[in-house]
Structure 1
Amino acid sequence: MSHQILLDVDTGRDDALALMFAVRHPDIHVQAITCVAGNTSVEDAAANTLSILDLVDAPEIPVALGARHPLIESPRDASWIHGTHGLGNVELPVSGRRVEPFHAVELMRRCLLDSECQVTLVALAPMTNVALLLRLYPDVVDRIKQIIFMGGSATVGNATPVAEFNFWHDPEAAHIVLNSGVPLTMYGWDVLWSMRVGALGIAQLCESDDLVLQVAGRLLAFEAVDPSNGTPVIYDCIGDAGTLCALVAPELFGIENRPVQLVLTPGPARGQTIVDRRSMAGEDSAHHLAEPVPMIDVVSSVRNDEVLTLFIECLANRSW
C-alpha cells in the first residue's frame, strides 16, 4: 500500500531518523516537508532536514520554513537532549538544497490541493504549522486523509510529569488539531519511550559499513546531561520514526479508539493529554457534566522487536 505523505518536523535527532525511514521505505512517497520550531530553531530544523535528505540520497522534495514560535507561548527548545543544533554531535555537510521561498503553511496548502489523491499528514513536532493550516485554509481539510502524529501520552510525560514535549510546547495548536474533525492517530510518548535500541544495537549501527546506519547509531548514542542533576542521559529510542512504522505496519501495534482531551489551563497539568480508558460511564456523565470529546485512534502497545527490525532493515534497504 502506497502512502502519500506530507511531513511536518522540528528536525532533531529522532526526526532525522524518521526522515531516513520515510525516504527509504518503498511504500512511502514524501510529497513535501515543512519545518517548525520545537526541538531546535526552525532554521536549524530546516538545515538538518536538508542535510539528512542528502545523506539518504533523496530525490528533490520541497522543504519550507514554518512557525518560529508557538501560537501563544514563548519558544522553548529541547537542545539539552538534541544538542545545540539538533543532531547531537553529528556534523553533516551543509546541503546545496534550498528551502522554498514561501511559508510552510503555503507549501502544505499547495501540496494538498495539487495532489491527485488525499494525503496523510505526518506531524512529528509541535502542531503550530498544522493548526495554522487548518485555521487559514479550512477548504483543504477534505484533502487530508488522516493526521498521524507524535504527541501526547496516555500515561507519563517527558516535558513535565504529565505533558509530552510537542503538546507542552504549543498546547493551543494541539487543541485545534485534536478538535479539527480530521481522522487522527496518536503515537504518544508512553509508546515512543518503549522503543529502545540499547547499547548493543547502537554499537552495531555505529560499526556498520553503511553510512546511513552509522549516522543513525551516532544520533542514538548522543550523551546528554540531565539539567536537573547533571547526570548523563542517552535517549536511545527511535522516537518519531515509530510514528511512520505505525503508518506502514499498523499490524505491529495495538490501537484503541478513545476519547482524548487536552489541558490548556495554566499550572502543572498544562499540555497533558487525558485519554479516557474507562469501560463504563462515570460520575461526570451521570451528572450531565461531561462535554463532547473527540474520538482518536491511540497507539497503546507495540511489538518492539519486530518494529525495531522493520526500522533497521528499512534504513539498510534490506527486504525490498
Structure 2
Amino acid sequence: MTDGRRIPVIIDCDTGVDDALALLFAVRHPALDVRAITCVAGNTDVDGVVRNTLTVLEQAGAPGIPVARGAERPLIEAPRSAQHVHGHDGMGDLGLPEPSRRPADVDAVTLLRSEILASPRPVTLVPMAPLTNIALLLRTHPEVVRNLERIVFMGGAAAVGNATPVAEFNVWHDPEAAAILLTAGVPITMYGLDVFTRVVVPAADVRRLRGSGEPGARLAGQLLAHRPAHPDSRPGDPSETSGGLGDAGAVCAVVDPEGLTTHRLPVDVSLAPGPTRGMTIVDRRPRPGEAELHEGTREQPLVDVGLDVDVERYVKLYLATVEV
C-alpha cells in the first residue's frame, strides 16, 4: 500500500486451520479492506467451511463482512477433504462455539461478481482453496476481470507436492478450475508450497499467543499449535511447538509483496489422468528444449511464481497484526 489507501480484497477459502490464520490477519491489518469472503469445499465440506469462517470472524471481532456459501464439490472430481490434517471440524477440533453470525443470502459466485464490480478500486482476489468458485465466476461473469487488480492464490508448487509427489492439494482437488484461473487475463501471483512451508512462527511466540487474553490472538496460538511446523511434532502438543503460517503467508504477500521473491514463468496444469494429475508445471528452463524445437511452442500463461520468502519479515508482520 503505497498511497495510503486500503487495498480492497476478496478472500475465497476452505476454512481449515491455516485459512483461519489468514482470516485473522486479513481482518486486522489496517492496509486491507476485506470486502467479502466466499467459501468452497476443500479442507472440509462447504457447510463446515461456512461455519468455520463465521466463527473466526466472530472470534476476531471483525466487522460485518459478507460470507457466502459456494461450490460443494469440484467441477469434475468427487470432493476429497483434508480432515486428517485439519481435524473433524476442519478447525483443529478446538471445541469453538457455534457462531451467531449468518452467511449472506446469495451464493458465492453472485457475491463475488457484485462485490468486485461494486468496488471503487480494482480488487485483489485472494483464493486460498480449491479454485472451483473462481473458475465458475470467470466462466459465468467474465466482465469481472475489468475490475481485478491481481489474483494472489495459494496453490501449486514448482518443486514437490503434498497431495501427491508432484501436486499441491488446492490444485489437485480441482485441476480444471486451476487451469481456468491461469487464463484469467489479469496478473497472477502463485504462493505455492515452495514458500508455503517455510514461514514458521517460533515456539515461544506460539506459546505467548495461546496465553493471550484476547480471543483472536489466543485462537491464532491454538491454531498454530495444531499445525506444527515439523513432521515429528504432534498436533496440539502444548510443549515447545512452532507453527506454520501456511495460507496466511499469501495474505502477507498482498500487504508486503517485497517479502516474496517471484519469477515470472510459464505455468501449466496437468489435467490428464494418472500420477501427474493436478501438477503445476512451472517452466524454469532458461531456453526452449527439444520438444519446442521439434514440435513448436504453445502459449502458456505467465505467472509470478513465489520461489523465496523473507521468513522473519512475514512472521514479524503476522504477529504485529494479530496481537492487537
Q: Same fold (TM over 0.5)?
A: yes
Partner of 1:206: 210
- Equivalent residues, number: 313
TM score, norm. by length of structure 1: 0.94
Q: Distance in 2 between matches of 1:253 and 1:184?
A: 14
Q: 1:134 aligns with which of 129, 135, 138?
A: 138
Structure 2 unmatched runs, 5+: 237-241
Q: Distance in 1 between matches of 2:312 and 2:301?
A: 32
Amino acid at match of 2:178: A
Q: Distance in 2 between matches of 1:196 and 1:316?
A: 16
5 Å-filtered alignment, 1:1-320, equals 1=1, 2-222=6-226, 232=234, 236-317=243-324
Asked if structure 2 preserves the Cα contact closer than 8 Å seen for 1:89 and 1:222, the reply is: no
Q: Structure 1's 231 and 310: CA in aligned 2 closer, same or farther, altered over 3 A?
A: closer
- What SS does the corresponding residue of 2:244 show, helix, strand or coil? coil
- What SS does the corresponding residue of 1:266 show, helix, strand or coil? coil
Q: Distance in 1 between matches of 2:70 and 2:320?
A: 32
- What SS does the corresponding residue of 1:105 show, helix, strand or coil? helix
Q: Distance in 2 between matches of 1:231 and 1:121?
A: 33
- What SS does the corresponding residue of 2:101 show, helix, strand or coil? coil
Bigger mean CA deviation after superposition, 113-122 or 60-69 = 113-122
Bigger mean CA deviation after superposition, 280-289 or 305-314 = 280-289
- What SS does the corresponding residue of 1:280 show, helix, strand or coil? coil
Q: Give 1:223 shift.
A: 6.8
Asked if structure 1 preserves the Cα contact closer than 8 Å seen for 2:224 and 2:244, the reply is: yes
Partner of 1:227: none
TM score, norm. by length of structure 2: 0.92
Amino acid at match of 2:176: E
Asked if structure 1 preserves the Cα contact closer than 8 Å seen for 2:17 and 2:227, the reply is: no
Structure 1 unmatched runs, 5+: 225-229
Q: Distance in 1 between matches of 2:310 and 2:8?
A: 25
Q: Distance in 2 between matches of 1:4 and 1:262?
A: 29
